[in-house]
Amino acid sequence: MSTDESYDVIVVGSGGGGLVGAYVAASRGLRTLVIEKTGLVGGTTAYSGAGLWFPGSAPLKRAGAGNDLDDARKYLRSVISDSSREALQDAYLAAGVALIDELERNRWFQSFDHRPVPDYYPSAPGATAAGRTIFPPELPVADLGEHAGLVRKPITTERWGIEEGPVLRGGRALIGRALAAFLETGNGSLSVNTALQSLIVENGRVAGVVAVRDGAPVRLRANRGVLLAAGGFERNAELRAKYRNAPLTAAWTNGAPGNTGDALQAGIAIGATTDLLDEAWYVPGLVHPDGLPVFHTGTRGGIWVNSAGERFVNETGPYDQAGHTIARQHAASAVSHIPAYWVFDQRQLDRDSFGGPPGEPPRREWFTSGALKRADTLDELARLIDVPHGALARTIEEFNGFARTGVDQRFQRGQTPWDQMHQHIVGFAYDPVGNYPAKPSPELANPVLPPLDTPPFYAARIVLSDIGTKGGLKIDEHARVLGTDGRPITGLYAAGNTAAAMSGRVYPGAGTPIGSSLAFAYRAVNDIAG
């Protein structure tokens, strides 16, 4: 093969797994190149809260969260309930602990914090109410010096131009830290605007990649291995349709713009096997005045209704369970659930604002665009959102009964540690990492079940969205991509949403997607480094 450039390791994609894996490889003395298709690093990881579900890791121990890996293993076994993924689960758990120990020895990563986010299946064996999620510390933009402009902006800035201030938070802090640590090793190179097109196979092993850099093809040799960490295929409408990853449209995803499944297709082209291609990290999306949804979680006032004007889910529950319920009910019933409507009243608006900082009224364009409807009576609101006359009022009458007793007899809203967490915080419809403290509501029997009794009434649209697809190339516990014969393809690794998820069809706890991206990138690099 005639090559333009030669490295030990090539990492495709600069999300969390890509950059952290690249840092670890470069810190082991391997000459490592990260190629990134877009002009910015970070992918969907940069949009995220950067929660990492890493049971047993040092920050949890420091916080006295008493995390036992055996309990976490029991929990994963129970909620995922798929024996074919057990080796991946064990690899994930071991990698999380070792990776955080290793990262925290580097000045850029000191030090992660535990914040209590309850596990998503509270009655499963091994679940904890304190959860196992850790977060990276914030990072002043100025600390990144000349690289500051390389980090992808938050969704709020990219979509609506809202300025983000002088500090990187959540996923942007993780990406900024990983980028700085990687480049500081002296063994790392970054090439943005460089898109993987295909994999080069020589003598039965993956020996490099063909990419397009600034419009020109380039052949890049990887002497030790190629790590595909290029996100999912959430932005590729054709692949979504092909793999029945529907009814979500590619425009409704919260995934980053570059995630069109290129690495998945390159792997398939050389004989890789796949799994879970019909799955996504589904979430509810609140439709904004620009007509596009943003990942929504933490509803603690108001209800969601389908086209029959009926509730269909615990609105406060974990977002992926709500997302899957929307998808399932929409497919299985004659009643439309896409869109569903989030119906609330003036009391709720006064209490929590509209997902954003308390005290802020909805901006005018919410009403002028029709994204938020307002009416003085429930019958008038029902007419505006086209649900049967009387149905909405009946649903709310029943819900108000639950609000009076504090017990939701239909969907048990407010019963779990996750739901109860929302007594203390307001959800984040605008800002993925803004957890606004809630005002105390001593007058309510249950603070996440306030009655809807104060006109005017409001309705906003909820559609099915996702934070990435989760099916992809099948990997083993070393993140080696498997061929259709079930054997590893030498030299080829995958992590994050390019790989089929170790968690199968469930979302065990906050931080599983990025946790999987980091953990399997780490496994891959350890295997490559030998």
CA separation for the pair 130, 115 (Å, rounded): 8
Give the separation between CA 16 and CA 476, rounded to whole angstroms. 20
Both structure tokens of 304 = 């969601």
469 counts as binding ligand FAD under rule CB under 6 A: no
Positive or negative: CA dihedral 98, 99, 100, 103:
positive
Count CB-CB contacts under 10 A for residue 155: 21
As a whole number of angstroms, the distance between CA 46 and CA 48 comes to: 5
> Which lies closer to ligand FAD via its Cβ, residue 307 or residue 503?
503
SS3 percent helix, strand, coil of the chain, rounded to 5, is 35, 25, 45
Of the pair 356, 515, the CB lying nearest ligand FAD is at: 515
- Taking the complex as a whole, the smallest distance from the CB of residue 170 to ligand FAD amounts, in Å, to 7
The answer to the question of residue 519 lying near ligand FAD (CB under 6 A) is no
- Residue from the set 38, 57, 187, 395 that interacts with ligand FAD by CB under 6 A: 38
Stretch that binds ligand FAD, among 47-55, 284-292, 320-328, 391-399 (CB under 6 A): 47-55
Q: How far is the CB of 221 from ligand FAD (least distance, A)?
A: 16
Instruction: Pick one of 27, 245, 416, 517: the residue that binds ligand FAD (CB under 6 A).
Output: 517
Kindly indicate which of the ranges 316-324, 342-350, 376-384, 513-521 contains the residues binding ligand FAD, using the contact rule CB under 6 A: 513-521
* CA–CA gap between residue 214 and residue 192 (Å, rounded): 9
- Dihedral sign, CA of 371, 373, 378, 380? negative
CB of 34 to ligand FAD, least distance (A): 9
Residue 185 interacts with ligand FAD (CB under 6 A): yes or no? no
According to CB under 6 A, which residues from 238 to 297 bind ligand FAD? 254, 256, 258-259, 262-263, 281, 295
The closest of 383, 305, 398, 402 to 344, measured between CA atoms, is 305
Q: Tell me the H-state helices in 206-305.
A: 237-242, 262-269
**Shortest spacing between CB 64 and ligand FAD, in angstroms:** 22
Contact 199, 1 (CB under 8 A): no
**Cα four-point dihedral sign 134, 504, 17, 428:** negative
Minimum CB distance to ligand FAD, residue 83 (Å): 24
| 118 binds ligand FAD per the rule CB under 6 A | no
CB of 430 to ligand FAD, least distance (A): 10
Tokens representing 284? 């509810």
Which of 27, 45, 245, 321 is the binder for ligand FAD (CB under 6 A)? 45
Strand extents, DSSP E, 136-231:
139-140, 167-168, 188-191, 194-202, 205-213, 216-228
Helix (H) or strand (E) holding 375: strand 372-375
Specify the stretch interacting with ligand FAD by CB under 6 A; choose among 8-16, 55-63, 396-404, 481-489.
8-16
Alpha carbons 515 and 281: distance in angstroms, whole number? 13
Choose which of 309, 496, 504, 509 interacts with ligand FAD (CB under 6 A): 496
Binding mask 48-67 for ligand FAD (x = CB under 6 A): xxxx----------------
Applying CB under 6 A, the span of 228-236, 239-247, 333-341, 386-394 interacting with ligand FAD comes to 228-236
What residues numbered 422-461 form the site for ligand FAD, per CB under 6 A?
A: 432
CB-based burial, 58-77: b 16+ in 10 Å, e otherwise: bbbeeeebebebebbbebbb
User: Which stretch, 10-18, 92-100, 182-190, 321-329, contacts ligand FAD (CB under 6 A)?
Assistant: 10-18
Among 14, 245, 395, 446, interactor with ligand FAD by CB under 6 A: 14
**DSSP SS3 for 31:** coil
* Centroid of chain to Cα 31: 30
Give the nearer residue to ligand FAD in terms of CB position, either 20 or 305: 20
Q: Does 15 bind ligand FAD (CB under 6 A)?
A: yes
- Asked if 375 and 292 touch (Cβ cutoff 8 Å), the reply is no
Q: Which of 10, 11, 13, 21 binds ligand FAD (CB under 6 A)?
A: 13
Among 43, 59, 339, 450, binds ligand FAD (CB under 6 A): 43
Closer CB to ligand FAD, 65 or 381, in the complex: 65
Cβ atoms within 10 Å, residue 184: 15
Which residue in the set 190, 196, 276, 489 belongs to the binding site for ligand FAD (CB under 6 A)? 196
d(CA 373, CA 357): 20
Residue whose CB is less far from ligand FAD, 325 or 512:
512
CA distance 396 to 374: 16
Nearer to ligand FAD, 150 or 349 (CB): 150
Q: What does the block give as tokens for 4?
A: 């333009």
Among 118, 231, 447, 450, binds ligand FAD (CB under 6 A): 231
Place of tokens 């690249």: 22
Nearest residue (CB) to ligand FAD, 47 versus 399: 47
Judged by the rule CB under 6 A, the positions of this chain that interact with ligand FAD are 12-18, 35-38, 43-45, 47-51, 195-196, 229-231, 254, 256, 258-259, 262-263, 281, 295, 432, 467-468, 496-497, 511-515, 517
